[in-house]
Structure 1
Amino acid sequence: MNLNKTFCFLFILNTARVLFAQDENPVEYVDPLIGTAKMGHLYPGATAPFGSVQLSPDTDTIPYAVNGRYNRDVYKYCAGYQYEDETITGFSHTHFSGTGHSDLGDFLVMPTIGELHLNPGTETNPDSGYRSRFSHDEEYAEAGYYKVKLKDYEIDAELTATTRVGMHRYTFNKGNEAHIILDLQAGIYNYEEKNVWTFVRVENDTLVTGYRQTNGWARTKKVYFAMSFSKPFKNFGQAKQKTGVYRGFWGRFDQTKNFPEMAGKNLKLYFDFDIQEQENIKIKLAVSPVSTEGALKNLQVEIPHWDFDKVKKQTQQAWNAELSKIEIETLKHSDKVNFYTAMYHAFLGPTVYMDVDGRYRGLDQNIHKAENFINYTSFSLWDTYRALHPLFNILQPDRNTDMISSMLEHQKQSVHGMLPIWSHYANENWCMIGYHSASVIADAIVKDNVNFDTDEALKAMVETAKVSYFDGLGEYMEKGYVPEDVSGASVSKTLEYAYDDWAIAQAAKKLGNNSVYKEFMERSGNYKNVFDKKTGFMRPKLKNGSFKKEFDELDTHGQGFIEGNSWNYSLYVPHAPEEMIKMMGGKKQFSTHLDSLFTMNLPDKYFENTEDISREGIIGNYVHGNEPSHHVPYLYNWTDDAYKAQDKIRNILKLKYQTGPEGLSGNDDFGQMSAWYIFSSLGFYPVAPGSENYALGSPAVKKATVKLKNGNVFTIETKNQSSTNVYVKKVELNGEPITQPFISHKSIINGGKLVFYMSGKPNKNLYN
């Protein structure tokens, strides 16, 4: 169904029921098209919660050279789809959700009729290839389901998925000779990616198996598949390849048509069918990190039948079960759409990475078996440690401990002895900075969500924090800071290492390991070593101990920072805000400093051009589109002006999260942006994961009921809530007034009621 039209209809028909009733079908409020334009980098296709398969349309593919130039913006197509595009090249089975880097896009399938093409063609000349035009008026996206009409072929394409299997249903509105294209060259990366090898085996006239191994962002990624057709194909074949096929004795066979074994770097296959008008072809494609045998088993276990609608129903029931963990009442219909869509995005990853029998490919490229846990992959930890994993400790405690078990296995398999930094598909990509697995693990330990070996976990964190050759870490341990003339983004690294060290210390304290606690608490104070008292900002320091002379606190280039400037990162001491505030002149001066951050006007010279898309995530010099600032509005809670956080939080919720494809102001980053929205809408946020406390803000919901795994219920209510009543007059927990702007994790997990009394005027003495 068309979500936007349906929502409008329901809104007009029965506003009160839509806005205020407790819903049993929150899937109706999920709009997967939100964030599919510009920098959201989200895909609209079908997937199950935390599913291994993300079956989604691609509007561009691996770039093909045109006049010696590659015609694709790699960053733009991290999810393979851009809402502004007018053609679809096909439907591939693996996608990242909202990342700032591209990969995956495995096993692209495209149905066509008429003349056979085995290249995708170009957006400017779609008739030269197998791609098709489409219209958003004939495109529908729901949680677990996607549909679009391929206009050039008059084919209705429908997609759904289980955890490891993608299911297609293609209805042909015209009778003709039909083709199903399977393009193993297509992928989501840049021109440097090369298929190491692809292999396909036609087992019979309805079953095909094979694998694709690539050298892209993940330098050695291998994915197996098993593909089953609901109808036998009459012919099959492959496009001719320049290399890798016609060698030696293989040259005696014509391998381009009806030859059952195909191998090469860039296989492109076709399967021919005679199709009657209104006939459909269904396809099931299962993936495996281990083998084609594993893919077949995944297919047989998860979808042993051909009932497409049954799969869709079961997957949407699974989504309803996940989304129903929070029931909300909102002021506006759009708030409800944004909230449940944020929950949907938060539950897309990390993704399950093992076969139904528990086997998976490890970092050492050997096959392992997960014992007593589900193995996960795609850990975008620089983003997700901040709010997504803390959210999991409330809503997905079992999954979060399984994710930690997956991280611990990664560490065992690593020749470096390190926990994941940014890992996916049995590869470590070393993307971004810090060792934030430590934060995720420490947060779970401190919050008593510990279905894993805690002693082993503490040991893994300590070992990771002492790998001297990692990203300036040796100099950090020796000097207490990362020198800029040794390793770039040195200030950001120093600050993030210091925070992770504090997190390790909190875990050690909880576990009673006093020696590790003392060691890492001392290290956690290293943020002081890059603070320049003269300027009042964090500043890059050289290996000789002096500050770098050339310095502009507003510039992001070559100033010692990553995805931020000194204004942003000087506020990144989430583990010691009292000390940071004292260091920066005290509560009054710090509060004024925060005011300036939100109101200042950045000159055009700090952007690449006047239309720089990164402006969309900015309020003043507060950069919501990049994660290092996400805790910043809540820092007012450590001053005497906690009320100043409240209107700013509500303003961010209003401006940076909207419905529609352009609704997000930056990459969703595997759920971090969405997790910020969920927490902030509920009225609290984990400023420093590893602490048991959350900072209070200004809730945007009228009421929220959080259903916890232990059977308890935590309720948030607001009195006198409105779009203008953004200030908190008073707060009560279980009928007792809260006198500090914080709430503990135990208060949530034990169940109870948190009530905010809202007002249009600030209460300047609320927590004083």
Structure 2
Amino acid sequence: MIGTAKMGHTYPGATVPFGSVQLSPDTDTIPYAIDGHYNPDVYKYCAGYQYDDNTIVGFSHTHFSGTGHSDLGDFLIMPTTGDLKLNPGTALNPESGYRSRFSHDKETAEAGYYSVMLDDYNIKAEMTATTRVGMHQYSFPEGENAHIVFDLMHGIYNYDDKNVWTFVRVENDTLVTGYRQTNGWARTRRVYFAMSFSKPIKDYGRARYDRQPYGGFWGKFDQAKNFPEIAGEKIRMYFNFDLAPQEKLMVKMAISPVSSEGALNNMKEETPNWDFENVKKEARANWNRELNKVQLSSEDEDELTNFYTAMYHAFLGPTEYMDTDGKYMGLDMNVHQADGFTNYTSFSLWDTYRALHPLFNILQPKRNADMAQSMMAHYDQSVHTMLPVWSHYANENWCMIGYHSASVLADAIVKGNADFDQEHALEAMVNTARTRYYDGLGYYMDMGYVPEDKNGASVSKTLEYAYDDWAIAQAAKKLGKTEIYEEFIKRAENYKNVYDSKTGFMRPKLSDGTFKKDFDELNTHGQGFIEGNSWNYSLYVPHEPAKMIEMMGGKEQFSQHLDSLFTMELPDKYFENTEDISREGIIGNYVHGNEPSHHVAYLYNWTNKPWKSQDKIRMILDMKYQTGADGLSGNDDFGQMSAWYIFSSLGFYPVAPGSIEYAIGSPAVKNASIHLENGNTFSVIAENQSKKNVYVDKVELNGKELTRPFISHEAIINGGELKFYMTNKPNTILFIN
């Protein structure tokens, strides 16, 4: 349940690691706009569920985890009894629709299993999942008036014209197939389904919403009841059953990106029978295999809870996007065959390139290599010849900035986890970075920066492009491509072009070469930044921190600057109101709830005071990750927040993906064993570990004391032991040469 309250945007439902199906309760249906104006409440429901709500609308089969934007929520199912209702009603008046009240004391959320008592109907709802199939089990108190409401109008990020078309075909008295096509965040998204019932359907019908299907030649049929083929923009259906008292009705919902036939084949492959308990057992075993990749010993129950919850969230996505036979829908809207790799979707790359994909290079190298191939398939199918920016379900959403798929590919290549065509990957990175019409990139290539009067969020874009260029240069160097290396290592220094030495901050520059006037380094609006202010982004040169520190006045001055970031107080004027939810992710002016700051606490390692990283990291771990439903201090962002927690708890972090080095921090664990896919084990031990002993006295790698605050990727993959000796006082000479 961690992250289901406030702005964590996680869902509590049933899924398996990287599963295509995320079968989870939705607690409200919030319109995107009210009277033509954006509805701010829609942001709360990116995952469909809010812990503080007390009604459930139903259970849909697709959800994002921890994102700051929403879509999906496909194929909502709701069991009901009594009078049939075919609209969801409202939270204030649940009786007006098919929704039901519920309470958390009759709700269970486990890995691969979810259950809740629907109080208005006294129905116990249980669900589990395989990769492509959601399995429901409903215990009806009375056999009479047992209904299943099937709502194809429901969706997350819900506005009036999201549904383009839906189609339902009742194949026989236990099988229903069809598809749903939407124009939401993804403009051309089609999901096919096959739904099977464990009991024969008594009768069925639909609500009358669309005029068109009843007019013209179709008007000769009564399509409202027991009509087996239904199409329209707005379809809500019901299925009635004859059941004995306390009899269980099971439903299997398989999805496919390709066809209803594909969905049906997925169902046959993954759930050939009606053994709910066995599917639940297999889902649990699947999770245990993944979570045991790191074995943690601790006497602190909260620490264990937070660590394994972080691993759980980190392994929710990206999600598999293909049928069991390897077929999937491509970006070109054609059916493709994944040959030799598993195809994935939902790449929230502005978030996940920082720590999640580097974590996968340690814990999930095979999957990460497949994700890289999925990105390259996207590139091959793109008319723009670009790698994905933020993509899902065969669509590019162009959300956020940068071309950070280049970072993911480069990191895999440099770290030797590149079981794919590396030359083709480099070509894709280079062509993406030379796409002049993409988001100010032409200005960046010509002028060395993005001018604010030509393209907004210009400083953030300049800095992130420069980092991505450095990552491309590292891949080119590894592959021996000297000309490409020289081109992009030069571009990687473009961060210098937006640094104002007079103010000491990165600052928006205009096309005439002058800095923008009326500059406020604390303001996040209209100052050339996105999801951060100049204080945060002025520290975003992860690829050249030593040069950045020299540029900003040297080690001592920079160290004091970092101190101020964590201790200053932001005035109320920089928040919308005194209860602004964004405050929860902030320590001083350090914004942990937004990703551009995630490497910042580790930057002390490039000063003469590396010990100052250590107490900051432990402070963030303790303050920003809790065990309650509101335990996350911001969106989990498809696992990035969780990946930060995992790395930092283990005592090291990838400041610059594309580098083979990790920066040393302060481990929160006492003992952890990382079981690698190559059969090796890398252990982390923290002697004298405690809540007070947050400082590192010394560090040994395989018995040899470290003299620099870094370890290599090779050292981890080869297996061995990283031993920290912890103390309650800083060792001010550690790592100082």
**Shared fold (TM-score, shorter chain, > 0.5):** yes
Q: Give the aligned partner of residue 479 of structure 1.
A: 447
Instruction: Determine the C-alpha separation between the residues in 1 that align with 2:446 and 2:509.
Output: 14
Instruction: Determine the C-alpha separation between the residues in 1 that align with 2:410 and 2:164.
Output: 39
2:318 to 334, 338, 350: 350
Instruction: Determine the C-alpha separation between the residues in 2 that align with 1:763 and 1:104.
Output: 51
Q: Give the aligned partner of residue 233 of structure 2.
A: 265
Q: Give the aligned partner of residue 328 of structure 1.
A: 296
2:686 maps to a residue whose letter is T
Following superposition, the deviation at residue 176 of structure 1 comes to 2.2
1:215 to 178, 183, 201: 183
Following superposition, the deviation at residue 83 of structure 1 comes to 0.2
Verify: 1:720 aligned to 2:720, yes or no. no
Is the 2:29–2:158 Cα contact (8 Å) retained in structure 1?
Answer: no
Q: Give the aligned partner of residue 187 of structure 1.
A: 155
Residue pairs, 1:577-592, within 5 angstroms: 577-592=545-560
Verify: 1:340 aligned to 2:308, yes or no. yes
Indicate the RMSD between aligned Cα atoms, in angstroms: 1.1
Instruction: Determine the C-alpha separation between the residues in 2 that align with 1:623 and 1:340.
Output: 24
Instruction: Determine the C-alpha separation between the residues in 2 that align with 1:287 and 1:191.
Output: 23
Give the secondary structure class of the aligned counterpart of 2:698.
strand
Instruction: Determine the C-alpha separation between the residues in 2 that align with 1:62 and 1:536.
Output: 44
1:312 to 276, 280, 301: 280
Give the 3 Å change call, closer, same or farther, for CA 68–417 of structure 1 in structure 2: closer
Give the secondary structure class of the aligned counterpart of 1:423.
strand
Instruction: Determine the C-alpha separation between the residues in 1 that align with 2:28 and 2:407.
Output: 36
1:307 maps to a residue whose letter is D
* Deviation per residue, 1:10-45 (Å, 9 max, x gap): xxxxxxxxxxxxxxxxxxxxxxx0000000000000
Verify: 1:388 aligned to 2:388, yes or no. no
Give the secondary structure class of the aligned counterpart of 2:77.
strand
Q: How many residues align?
A: 736
Verify: 1:490 aligned to 2:471, yes or no. no
Q: Give the aligned partner of residue 274 of structure 1.
A: 242
Verify: 1:130 aligned to 2:116, yes or no. no
Q: Give the aligned partner of residue 118 of structure 1.
A: 86
Give the secondary structure class of the aligned counterpart of 1:546.
coil
Q: Give the aligned partner of residue 11 of structure 1.
A: none
* Deviation per residue, 1:380-432 (Å, 9 max, x gap): 00000000000000000000000000000000100000000000000000000
* Deviation per residue, 1:583-622 (Å, 9 max, x gap): 0000000000000000000000000001100000000000
Following superposition, the deviation at residue 244 of structure 1 comes to 3.0
Following superposition, the deviation at residue 64 of structure 1 comes to 9.6
Is the 2:449–2:498 Cα contact (8 Å) retained in structure 1?
Answer: yes
Instruction: Determine the C-alpha separation between the residues in 1 that align with 2:686 and 2:264.
Output: 51
* Deviation per residue, 1:100-156 (Å, 9 max, x gap): 001000000000001000000000000000000000000000000000000000000
Residue pairs, 1:346-385, within 5 angstroms: 346-385=314-353
Following superposition, the deviation at residue 541 of structure 1 comes to 0.3
Give the secondary structure class of the aligned counterpart of 1:46.
coil
Mark the runs of 5 or more structure 1 residues left unpaired by the alignment.
1-32
1:557 to 513, 520, 525: 525
Verify: 1:699 aligned to 2:685, yes or no. no
Is the 2:30–2:42 Cα contact (8 Å) retained in structure 1?
Answer: no
Q: Give the aligned partner of residue 744 of structure 1.
A: 712
Q: Give the aligned partner of residue 245 of structure 1.
A: 213
Is the 1:70–1:191 Cα contact (8 Å) retained in structure 2?
Answer: no
Is the 1:192–1:216 Cα contact (8 Å) retained in structure 2?
Answer: no
1:450 maps to a residue whose letter is A
Range with greater deviation from structure 2 (133-142 or 266-275): 266-275
2:193 to 197, 208, 225: 225
* Deviation per residue, 1:281-314 (Å, 9 max, x gap): 0000000000000000000000000000000000
Q: Give the aligned partner of residue 594 of structure 1.
A: 562
Is the 1:243–1:264 Cα contact (8 Å) retained in structure 2?
Answer: no
Verify: 1:504 aligned to 2:472, yes or no. yes
Verify: 1:613 aligned to 2:584, yes or no. no
Instruction: Determine the C-alpha separation between the residues in 2 that align with 1:516 and 1:120.
Output: 57
Following superposition, the deviation at residue 65 of structure 1 comes to 9.0
* Deviation per residue, 1:482-506 (Å, 9 max, x gap): 0001110000000000000000000
Following superposition, the deviation at residue 173 of structure 1 comes to 2.1
Q: Give the aligned partner of residue 25 of structure 1.
A: none
2:114 maps to a residue whose letter is Y
Instruction: Determine the C-alpha separation between the residues in 2 that align with 1:690 and 1:643.
Output: 25
Give the secondary structure class of the aligned counterpart of 1:54.
coil
Instruction: Determine the C-alpha separation between the residues in 2 that align with 1:326 and 1:114.
Output: 49
Is the 1:685–1:696 Cα contact (8 Å) retained in structure 2?
Answer: yes
In the TM superposition, structure 1's runs of 4+ consecutive aligned residues that sit over 6 Å from their partners are 64-72
Instruction: Determine the C-alpha separation between the residues in 2 that align with 1:312 and 1:570.
Output: 48
Q: Give the aligned partner of residue 27 of structure 1.
A: none
Mark the runs of 5 or more structure 2 residues left unpaired by the alignment.
none
Q: Give the aligned partner of residue 435 of structure 2.
A: 467
TM-score by length of 1: 0.95
Is the 1:730–1:757 Cα contact (8 Å) retained in structure 2?
Answer: yes
Is the 2:210–2:232 Cα contact (8 Å) retained in structure 1?
Answer: no
Following superposition, the deviation at residue 266 of structure 1 comes to 1.1
Is the 2:48–2:73 Cα contact (8 Å) retained in structure 1?
Answer: yes
Following superposition, the deviation at residue 245 of structure 1 comes to 1.0
Q: Give the aligned partner of residue 127 of structure 2.
A: 159
Instruction: Determine the C-alpha separation between the residues in 2 that align with 1:44 and 1:290.
Output: 27
Instruction: Determine the C-alpha separation between the residues in 1 that align with 2:710 and 2:402.
Output: 27
2:667 maps to a residue whose letter is P
Q: Give the aligned partner of residue 366 of structure 2.
A: 398
Instruction: Determine the C-alpha separation between the residues in 1 that align with 2:42 and 2:515.
Output: 36
Q: Give the aligned partner of residue 177 of structure 1.
A: 145
Is the 2:2–2:627 Cα contact (8 Å) retained in structure 1?
Answer: yes
Instruction: Determine the C-alpha separation between the residues in 1 that align with 2:317 and 2:109.
Output: 19
* Deviation per residue, 1:227-254 (Å, 9 max, x gap): 0000001000000023331121100100
Give the secondary structure class of the aligned counterpart of 1:211.
strand
Give the 3 Å change call, closer, same or farther, for CA 56–180 of structure 1 in structure 2: same
1:375 maps to a residue whose letter is N
Instruction: Determine the C-alpha separation between the residues in 2 that align with 1:715 and 1:515.
Output: 40
Instruction: Determine the C-alpha separation between the residues in 2 that align with 1:589 and 1:455.
Output: 43
* Deviation per residue, 1:323-359 (Å, 9 max, x gap): 0000011241000000001000000000000000000
Following superposition, the deviation at residue 68 of structure 1 comes to 9.2
Q: Give the aligned partner of residue 21 of structure 1.
A: none
Following superposition, the deviation at residue 550 of structure 1 comes to 1.2
Instruction: Determine the C-alpha separation between the residues in 2 that align with 1:767 and 1:686.
Output: 18
Verify: 1:759 aligned to 2:724, yes or no. no
Is the 1:63–1:72 Cα contact (8 Å) retained in structure 2?
Answer: no
1:100 to 63, 68, 74: 68
Following superposition, the deviation at residue 667 of structure 1 comes to 0.2
Is the 1:62–1:185 Cα contact (8 Å) retained in structure 2?
Answer: no
Instruction: Determine the C-alpha separation between the residues in 2 that align with 1:293 and 1:192.
Output: 29
Verify: 1:637 aligned to 2:611, yes or no. no
Instruction: Determine the C-alpha separation between the residues in 2 that align with 1:119 and 1:68.
Output: 22
1:172 maps to a residue whose letter is F
Is the 2:349–2:405 Cα contact (8 Å) retained in structure 1?
Answer: yes
Instruction: Determine the C-alpha separation between the residues in 2 that align with 1:350 and 1:742.
Output: 29
Instruction: Determine the C-alpha separation between the residues in 1 that align with 2:53 and 2:693.
Output: 40
2:22 maps to a residue whose letter is Q
Is the 1:244–1:263 Cα contact (8 Å) retained in structure 2?
Answer: no
Give the 3 Å change call, closer, same or farther, for CA 120–551 of structure 1 in structure 2: same
1:678 to 639, 646, 656: 646
2:381 to 393, 413, 417: 413
Following superposition, the deviation at residue 192 of structure 1 comes to 5.3
Following superposition, the deviation at residue 66 of structure 1 comes to 8.7
1:255 to 214, 218, 223: 223
Is the 2:76–2:154 Cα contact (8 Å) retained in structure 1?
Answer: yes
- Aligned-pair identity in percent equals 73
* Deviation per residue, 1:488-531 (Å, 9 max, x gap): 00000000000000000000000000100000000000000000
Residue pairs, 1:423-438, within 5 angstroms: 423-438=391-406
